[in-house]
Amino acid sequence: MKDFSAAAFSPEVIAAMTEALDGAISSLPEPVSSTHVSLLAEAVLRAAKAGERDAVTLQRLALLELQIMPRI
């Protein structure tokens, strides 16, 4: 996972990020792997760090990024 230790977010942004991650995870078919959760979390962090603040948009960006990732 990329290092986000220098990132700082307001409580409102953290709430939007949490909502986005929870929504993204719940939209995936069971069982959801820890790898997918990590990739979604990283995508949400990256988008929020870039300035996105809307939970729905953060969720969609994370899911789209997961969808276009190369299969390993």
32 falls within a domain:
yes
Count: domains in the chain: 1
Q: What is the pLDDT of residues 11-64, one digit of tens each?
A: 999 999 999 999 999 999 999 999 999 999 999 999 999 999 999 999 999 999
Query: Domain limits at 31?
Result: 11-68
pTM for the complete prediction? 0.87
37 falls within a domain:
yes
Is-contact 42 18, C-beta < 8 A? Answer: no
5 falls within a domain:
no
25 falls within a domain:
yes
d(CA 10, CA 28): 28
Count of H-run helices and E-run strands, the chain: 3, 0
